[in-house]
Each structure stands twice: as structure tokens, then as C-alpha cells.
Amino acid sequence: MKKLIVANWKMNPNSQEEAKNKFEEIREGSRGLKSEVVVCPPSVYLYASGFGEGVISMGAQNVYFEEKGAFTGEISCVMLKDLGVEYVIIGHSERRKYFLETDEIINKKIKTALQAGLKVIFCIGETAEDRNNGDKEDVLERQIKIGLDGVVSENLNIAYEPVWAIGTGDNCSVKETKESIEFIKKFLNPENRILYGGSVKSENSGSYIKEAETDGLLVGGASLDPKELIDIVKSAE
């Protein structure tokens, strides 16, 4: 199974030109590397990406579960597929927190995306409060059981992202990540890749692949620097 390295640009950068330059640098740097590299820009830049010319894949950061109609501001799976998008991130903690996405909404999105032929990167993770209260495993189990209710697919990837580790520089230790990954694995099929995300940089990325035995990484802030992202991809080789 190839390692999966996903760049989540979130709401960055501020211009098409900057986005294009980053795509090109990542595409060039990824040539000949063994891992699968997926870039998830804001959806307005998906079209400008040139779709990686087979070197990198494109992913969306969100999608809606209805097929079409009166849903102002939303984008459907069919539209993403038509554009050539291969992956979609669903259930990111920022969507859960700021856009009030529930486990049930996430479940609908995952089902629709898989049915449409998109590959899913399903994010789960506990908050600092959950962790301090000793509720981590209960929270992960709830997110998985509801989020994946009725879902079995080889196109499903899980990203374990402790919320307290996202964008904080306080990345999860290899030991704790490994324990969580082992816990999560119990609910999945062997073909589902499990990634780690949360303050990944080139200086810590290799240890998540080699020591925590993850199948890849979901990278936020560091993925906006193409050189840093390529170093992360190389560390997974």
C-alpha cells in the first residue's frame, strides 16, 4: 500500500497565481517519489491546478451531500468528480467546530462521496478536554461508529488528528499516536489507510510513518511551503 501524504491548504493562499506556483513546485518535487501526494486547495483553485498531470492528485476540503438544487454556497460530489477531483476531506475538526458539522452530517457526506466515486479522507480526533477527562477512546469510537455507519469501502482513509495538536506546534507523541492508531484499526478493514495529522513538519514526519506505523500524513500549515512538503514526502519513502 502506498503512503498517502495529504496537503490541506485550508483557506490559503490569497491568489490564483500563488496557488499555481505552489502546485507546480509540489508537482515537480514529487516526480519519481513513491508516496501518493494529494493537494487539497480551496475549491476555487481546483480548476487552476492542472490536476497534477498524473504526478499529484487533487482533493477538495469539503463537499455537500445533496446531488443538486437549492443549497446556496454548496458544491456537490458530482461537480467535484466532473472537475477531475479524486479525494475529499470530510469531518475536519474545523468543520465540526465552526460549521457545526455533526457525526450524522459527516456520515451522509461520506456515503454520498463514496457513491460518487470520490476517495474519502475522514478526520477524527479528540479535543484537549476529551483527553484530559479520559474520554479519548469513547470520542474516537463515537466518531467512527456514527461517521462510518453503513460504510465499507476500500476508498476510505482515516486521518487521526488530535484537535489539541492542530496548528499548535504541540504534535502528538509517537507513543500516543501509535496507541490511538491501534485503537482505531480495530474498527476498520485492513485496506483503509490511517494517517496522522497535527503539527506535522519535516523534522517529525518520518517518525509517524516509521515508528507510529501510520499509512500517511495530513499536513496543514507546513504544506503551504512546497519545499517543506516535499521534505515531508521524502521522509515517508
Active-site residues: which are they?
92, 161
Cβ–Cβ < 8 Å for 137, 183: yes
* Pick 139 or 200: Cβ nearer ligand PGA: 200
Closest-approach residue to ligand PGA (CB): 220
Q: How far is the CB of 68 from ligand PGA (least distance, A)?
A: 29
What is d(CA 63, CA 84) in angstroms, rounded to the nearest whole number? 14
Q: How far is the CB of 168 from ligand PGA (least distance, A)?
A: 7
> From the centroid of its chain, how far is CA 153?
16
Q: How far is the CB of 151 from ligand PGA (least distance, A)?
A: 21
* Pick 10 or 111: Cβ nearer ligand PGA: 10
* Pick 86 or 161: Cβ nearer ligand PGA: 161
Q: How far is the CB of 159 from ligand PGA (least distance, A)?
A: 7
Cell of 9: 491548504
- Contact residues: ligand PGA, CB under 6 A: 8, 161, 166-167, 197-200, 218-222
Q: Nearest 10 degrees: CA dihedral of 151, 155, 187, 2?
A: 180
What is d(CA 171, CA 162) in angstroms, rounded to the nearest whole number? 9
Cβ–Cβ < 8 Å for 59, 38: yes
What is d(CA 3, CA 37) in angstroms, rounded to the nearest whole number? 9
**How far, in Å, are 10, 129, 178, 185, 215 from residue 136 at the CA level?**
25, 9, 14, 15, 21
* Pick 50 or 167: Cβ nearer ligand PGA: 167
Q: How far is the CB of 110 from ligand PGA (least distance, A)?
A: 17
* Pick 52 or 221: Cβ nearer ligand PGA: 221
